[in-house]
Every structure is written in C-alpha cells, then in structure tokens.
Structure 1
Amino acid sequence: MSISGGRVLSISRLLAVVFVLLGLYLLRDNWLPENYNRRRPLPTDSIPQNNHDEPKPQPPEELPTTPPPMPTTASCRDVPGADNVMVLLKTGATELYQKLPAHLLTTFKCVPHFMIFSDLAQDFADYPVYDAIADVSQNIREEHADFELYRKLQQYQREGQDVSKLSGKGGWNLDKWKWFPMLHKAFTSAGDNVQWFVVIEADTSISWTNLLQYLKTMDSTKPYYLGAQNVIGHQTFAHGGSGVIFSRKAADLLEKAREYEGREHWDADWERIISNNCCGDEVIARALEENGIKLTPAWPLIQGETVTSLDWTEKHWCSVAISWHHVTPIEVDSLWQFESDWIEKHGWNTPYLFRDVFEHFIQRHVTVDRVMWNNLSKDRKLVSAVLANENDEVFAELKDFEQNATTSSEACAEACRRVQEKQCIQWMYQPGRCHLGKDIRFGKSDERGEVHWRSGWFQERLQKFKERHEGCKVKWAG
C-alpha cells in the first residue's frame, strides 16, 4: 500500500506540473515583454543589392528577456560610395556641447569616416576631438593676439572650468588658423579608400544621400575643389560654412607642394599670409590656385541659406539640395528626419530637390497670412512720407495705390496684386511700411522683436510658379 500510494502521488504531481507549463505557454503573449521602436531605421532593402543575392535563412527568433537595443542605421554606412568619403567637422570648444550632439545622433550615424576639429583637444564621449590649432607655430600660439582665446581655453581645461563660459570671446579670430592644420592632418592620415574630403561647420547640415549621389557624377582622380562661390577682392573661393569638397587628387597635389617646398618653410609662409587676412577658407583657395586647382562652383547645390531664409526661385527649384548653413540643432534633426523618410520611400539612388524640401517644410505654412511674421520681402519698399528717408522712394512720386499701400495690410496686399506677377508674389506690412517681394521666402517670427509685421503670399501666383517648373530636369551642377 505504501509503495502504490507513493506511485499515485508522483503521477499526480507530474500531471500538475505539465498543466502549469501548458498554461504558461498559452499565456506567454500576455506577459513576455514586447519589442519597441522609437524610430524606424533606414531600410536595408533601399540600399542597392546585387541581383544574385539569395534570401538567407533567418535564425529562430529569441525570446526577449531584456529591452532590445535602440534601432540603428548601420545599414546606411554600407551604401556604395560611403566608404570613400571623409567628413571633417570644424567647430569650437565653446559651442561643442551645444552643436555636436545633433550631428552624432543624425548624419554621422551614416558616415563611416569623420574627424572633429576644434580649438581644444578633448574627448566627447567616445569620439576624439582634435585640436586644429596645436600644429600652428609655437611662437604664434604663444604671442599672437588672435590666440588670446586659445590660451584661455588651455587654462580653463587645466583648471577644470566650463569653457562654454568663454563663448563669443575671439572664436572668429581663431577660426581662420584651423584650416591648413585640419586639412593636412586629414589628407595625410586618411586611408587609401578615402577619395573625397568634405568640410562642414557645426551649423552646417548636409544631405548624405544627395552628397553621395553628387560625388558619383565626378572623378576623384581629377583635382576637384568644390563649394559655394564667394569673392573677397579678386579671390574667388568656396565659402566654408556652406561646405567645401576636395577630391583626393586635389589633396595629394597640395600635400606634394608642401613636401617639395619643405613643411616648415611652407607652413611659415602661409601662416604669415593668414595673419594678414580675415578668412581661412579664402587663403586655402589661394594655395590651391597656386598649384593649378581652381574652384568648381557648386552653388546652389551647396549654399549658405537656411530653409526659412532661402529664396525659392528657378535657380534652386530643380537643383539637388546638398547643404544648408546657419542651421540650429533642431533644424539638423528635422532635415535628417525628412531625409530618412525620403530614403525609405525612394531609396538611395533618387535625390531630393529643393522643390521637395519646399513642399515638405514650407508649402503648408504659406497658405494663409501670418501675423507677427517677417517673410523677408525686400524688392520694393513703400514707405509713408512721415517715415521715409533719403534712401526710400519719394512718396509723392508713388502711384496712388502704392501710397495707399502704407495704410493697411489689405492695401499692401492689393499693391502686390496690382503689379505684374513676376514682380510680386508676397508682401509684408506694418503701419507706414509695405514691402513687396518677387521671390518666395518664408522668413521667421518677429514676436519677440520690437517691430512686428503682417505677411502674406499670393497662392495663385505661387501655384503658377510651381506649374511653370513641373517636369524640369534635375540639376547636378552649380
């Protein structure tokens, strides 16, 4: 009896365990943690693949016992051409913590090779930040007036003080000295796979997909120096803040000239020139021209406006949008999110144009009049007799409807409507002043300013502008 009773008890316990396990299996969906995504990664299937690639067996899905890692965009680092590009970000120690994170969390997630240059050597999390000033001659660093901030930065770093407190105290004077040392370090340390060098600033935004597609239209074995053309005196150069591109051939020619002349002698000569000039990007153009490399204009693809300040004309509309300047960290992120969505929908082989940026960011905001808003209208300035000065049009010589335009926003809008379509597409008004604009601009709020405008856009004229440029050919050249 005791043996039989023990056997029955064991079987009962076994059956109970089986039922418990079965119940847990059936209820697993109610208690196992779920996967989550804050943002979709850039799609792997939008990257061009070899046609002969076959689907590979997938391993069985593991049950998540801890929250899964945040989604990444590692696939975008493998896009054809990405491994051939090095991006150099030029910034300053006083603004590093305000502006660098936005780049590391967005575009730089897709850039396999980048270097960060500042006026102070440090580490930002796991990223090295190189001191571009360190290679300037010691006597200049210790004695030249331009380096007062640099010397103060070194002191603050030694004492563990917050270097951001030095913001606005000489950063511009230091900036011009960063160019040559920064380029030399990048040109001489980059691997053979790097065929293009792209320089941006902390307030520059670049489109990674458009940049890669743009570079495919050129041969890196030729000496290219590309950017938004600017002029100081007789010197044409690429504006640094808009973004500057050097091919490997151009980089090699510059370094060869430096080696041939002797580094110390070459550096000393150019340091003397820099000390007597305002801008490092302009002096770089001189050094390149000296070696037969002239600027290839790339504006408006590479240019220095923001989405809100740009004049949306036929010059921009069908051009590939590669860069923006004077952007805030919020705008860097907004442009990145727009690009991520574009790639998800169109893949890596279709560029987006300025037109597409307009339709996403601006179109819906210019359908109504806006109060406390300056839309940057500036082609005609109609000013009442009481407020006019010698630079304004003579009020008595204005037509009746133009004089009336200074009395109300409705009359200002009517003045815009009364002139030819190509002469006015938008207006802005404040008592006594009516400004008319022939180009589309969005502008910005003046709510916190002392002067307030009311702004408006003519929808039918804007629509006609868009219709005139439907189907226009994509522009890849400046």
Structure 2
Amino acid sequence: MIRWTTRYISNGLRACVLGLLFIFGYLSFYSRSGYGQPHSFKPANLTSVKGYAPGTNIVVSVKTGASEAADRIPIQMQTSLRDFQSVFFFSDLEQDLGQYHLYDSLDTIAPSVMENNPDFVFYQKQRELWNATGNVTSLKNEKHPENPSELAAWTLDKYKNVHILEKTWALMPDQDWYIFIDADTYLLWSNVVEWLSTMDPEKKAYLGSEVNTGGVKFAHGGTGIVISKATMYNIAVRDAGIAAGYDSIVHTKCCGDLVLGMALRESGTLLQDAWPAMSGEAPWTMPFGPGTPEYWCRPVMTLHHLSPEGMVEFTAFEDRRENKSTPLTHEEIFNTFVLSSLVAEKENWDNLASEKGEFGKTGGVTSETSSFEECGKACEADEKCFQYSHHGTTCNIGMSVRLGYKRDLDSEGLWRSGWNLTRLRDWALKQPKCGPTTFSKQDR
C-alpha cells in the first residue's frame, strides 16, 4: 500500500469554485439547527444504485480535530458526503459549527488516564482556550510537550478511535453499516452504497486497507474503515466498555486505528483487506503502470489526503462524468482525470518519480545528471520509464504515472517533471478492456 500527502496548487477556476463553496458553507455555517442529529441530504444521483435504498442504514462517522474542523467539515459535507443521510462528527472538543455538531470523542476517558499523561496537556489547554475565547485555531500547530517534532493534536488523536465506535452506536444503533473516516477522506457515495448492497450486515465484517504492525493487521483509518452491524453489536453492546480497557495502553501504541484493530480482534472480528478499492491514495498520487495492475479495473471506494480544494475539484469531476450509472473505476480516473491533465513537462512540479512505492514497483531510480534535458534522455533510454523528475543534480526515474503536486524552488534548485506521453498512452491502449465491475466479496 502506498500513501502520499497530496500537495498541489489549484488553478484560478478551482479557486473561484472553492470560494463560492466557502461562501455558501459559511452562510449556512451560522444557521443553527438539528444539533446532535444526523444530517439528511437529498441524493443528487441514484441511478447507479441497484436494489438498495440509497444511503439507508449507512452511518458515517468523521474523525477530526477542533483546530481543523472549521476549515474542513463544511466543504467535506458539500462534496464527498453530500449524499450520505446519516453523518456524525467526532473531535477532541464538543462544539457547534453552525448546523454541524461535533462530539468530544474523549470526554468519557477516566481522569486517571489523563492525569500526568503529557498526551492530554493539549486536550486540557484546548478546552480552557475554547471556554475563554470560543476559538482554538491558534493551537493548530501546537507541539507535543515532550516531543516537539510531533503535533500535539496528532498524538492525542490516537485515543479517539474506539470511543468513536462506541459513541456512534449509542447515537444510532442497529444500522446495517458503519463507515469511519477522517476529515480528509473522500467517499465515493454510489460505489460504496452499491458495494455494501452485495454484503450481509448480519455477518461479522471489518474492512479496509490493511496495515500490519507488530503482527496486528488493522485497517488504515484515513483510508476508511467499514464495519457491519454484527461486528458493531459485538464490540459496542456485548463487549460494552471495551474502549476504557484500552485507554491505559494507547500511549504505547503508534496510532488509534491500530488500537481499534486490536479491540476488534479481541471482540472476534479480523480484518478483511479491501485494497485497492480502498487504497489511501489521492487522485494526484495514485500510481498507474505495470507495477500496480491491481488498480486498473477495480472500483474506487475511498480516496485520502484530499485538501478542501481537492474535494471541490474531484466532486466537479464526478459531476462531469458522462455515464453516472456505472461505478467509477481506476481506469476511468486514469483516462479522464489523469491523462487529460498531463503535459510533456512542467516546472515547479514534483510528479513523485522519486517515490519507490511498495517493493520498489513504481519508481525511485535515481542518478546524477546535470540537467533536466539529460534526465529526459535517461528516461527515454529506459523502456520502463513513464515519467521523470529533476531537482538539483538528481534525476528520478518513475515506472508509473502520477500527476503529483506543485513544488517551489528550494535551496537545491528548481523542481521539474516530465512524462513520456507516447509510452504511457501506448501502455494504456494495451491494457485489457474492463468487463462488468466486480466488488470485493464478504468473507464467510
């Protein structure tokens, strides 16, 4: 699995669209209604959903932080989540953002866990600032008191996951499917609904993009986690209070999605890997090429690391699709989103040719060259090269195609990227035609 942070700059048109959405979002931002209730939206397009009441009995829980929520939640609701009928938001501070209520994920953690725990210094400081000023955005870049290389909010985040699961069930029990995402996760609504319609919520299920840490297989949280009603009942009702049992050891773990995987394993449900439908990539970092054939014909369920601007841009792409009745696949993203955006070369741009990817499948071959032009010749001479980048005196050869992101001049020089358009188009034409879309089947 490959995970990248999406960093790019939008053009003027995207900025205008984003501006309009922000205006709309914040006009509604201060009209308060329906606190604590799931938000209902009229689905814009239902034609791709077969035999399943759109959005019925699907609950989405979004994990965020108080210092970022105002920037992300309104746009996420107007784009990725606009068609989901039941959405809850969980943060590290209870607050109302207009019509959106954010629950405090951590307010049931025992005082004994928080006392003398440096991870909770930020939590207390944030609550005090909110009570005094009603604004905590100044804490967005606050560092951990004992580890200045880490953001305090990021360290605190790992305590949330299992509590969010319990709180979601308490707010809306007995639904068929529960989806847990982050505020920079993009859900492909019609694909997700159609996929879930092929599975049985009365059977145990825990699905996501697999990560393995210390022998524990768990779903990567930002990529999205899907849990069936049967599994939710077991952990939230049959094993009620399981979150409190893990609170005292969370500080020793890397991340909250690992802790959630441990709790689900204890409760009797193991992970079913849903990669590459849930891949953890953004459209700008998704690798296409011989090293990643698994992507091509598979439907896309989730994307990750999307900025608010990125969500606006990808929603506009979804709205432009000619055939909305068919599931969106990675092949379609390549042919209609990626390929149309590529040019032969681009300055102040990093196309991620330097990234090796999983097991070196997608690139990362480097050499010393004096110029961008020499780097281009090296790519041309290597029949496996689809793209290349040059920075300083380093030439990077990529064996896959990615869009990448804007990257400014730095002390080592200019970032320049190039793509072998002829070679990659020839590769795309040789790919097998995709038949009817198939979805991952539920483990029995």
Contact 2:286 2:402 in 1 (8 A): yes
Task: Give unmatched runs, 5+ long, in structure 2.
Answer: 1-19, 22-39, 143-151, 355-362
Q: 1:176 aligns with which of 158, 174, 181?
A: 158
| Equivalent residue, structure 1, for 2:282 | 306
| Equivalent residue, structure 1, for 2:30 | none
| Equivalent residue, structure 2, for 1:447 | 408
Contact 1:312 1:441 in 2 (8 A): yes
C-alpha distance in structure 1 between counterparts of 2:272 and 2:243, whole Å? 25
Contact 1:77 1:83 in 2 (8 A): no
TM-score of the superposition, structure 2-length normalised?
Answer: 0.79
Shift of 1:459: 1.8
Q: Structure 1: which amino acid aligns with 2:207?
A: L
SS of structure 2 residue aligned to 1:253: helix
Q: 2:101 aligns with which of 128, 131, 146?
A: 128
Task: Give unmatched runs, 5+ long, in structure 1.
Answer: 1-37, 40-71, 385-405
Shift of 1:116: 0.5
Shift of 1:209: 1.1
Distance 1:267 1:453, change over 3 A: closer
Q: Structure 1: which amino acid aligns with 2:382?
A: V
| Equivalent residue, structure 2, for 1:369 | 345
Shift of 1:186: 0.9
Contact 1:223 1:293 in 2 (8 A): yes
Shift of 1:196: 0.5
C-alpha distance in structure 1 between counterparts of 2:373 and 2:219, whole Å? 43
| Equivalent residue, structure 2, for 1:414 | 377
Q: 2:298 aligns with which of 309, 312, 319?
A: 319
| Equivalent residue, structure 2, for 1:222 | 203
Where do residues 181-330 of structure 1 align in structure 2 (5 Å cutoff)?
A: 181-192=163-174, 194-259=175-240, 263=241, 266-313=242-289, 314-330=293-309
TM-score of the superposition, structure 1-length normalised?
Answer: 0.74
C-alpha distance in structure 2 between counterparts of 1:372 and 1:132, whole Å? 41
Matched, 1:338 2:342: no
SS of structure 2 residue aligned to 1:339: helix
| Equivalent residue, structure 1, for 2:358 | none
Distance 1:428 1:107, change over 3 A: closer
| Equivalent residue, structure 1, for 2:396 | 435
C-alpha distance in structure 2 between counterparts of 1:445 and 1:302, whole Å? 25
C-alpha distance in structure 1 between counterparts of 2:102 and 2:311, whole Å? 20
SS of structure 2 residue aligned to 1:362: helix
Matched, 1:426 2:387: yes
Stretch moving more, 121-130 or 356-365: 356-365
| Equivalent residue, structure 1, for 2:127 | 154
Contact 1:203 1:328 in 2 (8 A): yes
Matched, 1:383 2:356: no
Distance 1:430 1:109, change over 3 A: closer
Shift of 1:89: 0.5
Shift of 1:454: 2.3
Distance 1:176 1:355, change over 3 A: same
SS of structure 2 residue aligned to 1:441: coil
Distance 1:73 1:468, change over 3 A: farther
Distance 1:220 1:449, change over 3 A: farther
Distance 1:239 1:382, change over 3 A: closer
| Equivalent residue, structure 2, for 1:360 | 336
Cα shift readout 1:282-332 (whole Å, capped 9, x = no counterpart): 011111112321111011111222111221232212111111111100111
Shift of 1:153: 1.4
Distance 1:77 1:307, change over 3 A: closer
C-alpha distance in structure 2 between counterparts of 1:365 and 1:106, whole Å? 21
Shift of 1:382: 4.2
Shift of 1:189: 2.7
Cα shift readout 1:194-234 (whole Å, capped 9, x = no counterpart): 21111111111111111111112211111110111111121
Matched, 1:107 2:88: no
Shift of 1:358: 2.4
C-alpha distance in structure 2 between counterparts of 1:176 and 1:240, whole Å? 10
Contact 1:381 1:433 in 2 (8 A): no
Q: Structure 1: which amino acid aligns with 2:310?
A: E
Stretch moving more, 198-207 or 182-191: 182-191
Contact 2:81 2:189 in 1 (8 A): no
Distance 1:75 1:446, change over 3 A: closer
C-alpha distance in structure 1 between counterparts of 2:427 and 2:296, whole Å? 10
C-alpha distance in structure 2 between counterparts of 1:184 and 1:93, whole Å? 20
Contact 1:321 1:353 in 2 (8 A): yes
C-alpha distance in structure 2 between counterparts of 1:77 and 1:468, whole Å? 33
C-alpha distance in structure 2 between counterparts of 1:228 and 1:279, whole Å? 15
Q: 2:58 aligns with which of 85, 97, 110?
A: 85
Kindly indicate whether structure 1 or structure 2 has the higher relative contact order, using CA contacts under 8 Å at least 6 residues apart. 2
Shift of 1:175: 0.7
Cα shift readout 1:415-460 (whole Å, capped 9, x = no counterpart): 222223xx21112224532211111112122235443232211122
Where do residues 17-32 of structure 1 align in structure 2 (5 Å cutoff)?
A: none
C-alpha distance in structure 2 between counterparts of 1:252 and 1:211, whole Å? 21
Shift of 1:124: 1.1
Contact 1:77 1:112 in 2 (8 A): no
| Equivalent residue, structure 2, for 1:461 | 423
| Equivalent residue, structure 2, for 1:137 | 110
C-alpha distance in structure 2 between counterparts of 1:381 and 1:268, whole Å? 47
| Equivalent residue, structure 2, for 1:393 | none
Distance 1:98 1:88, change over 3 A: same
C-alpha distance in structure 2 between counterparts of 1:250 and 1:232, whole Å? 22
C-alpha distance in structure 1 between counterparts of 2:430 and 2:323, whole Å? 24
In the alignment of these two chains, the number of paired residues is 377
C-alpha distance in structure 1 between counterparts of 2:236 and 2:173, whole Å? 15
Quick one: percent identity of the two aligned structures?
A: 29
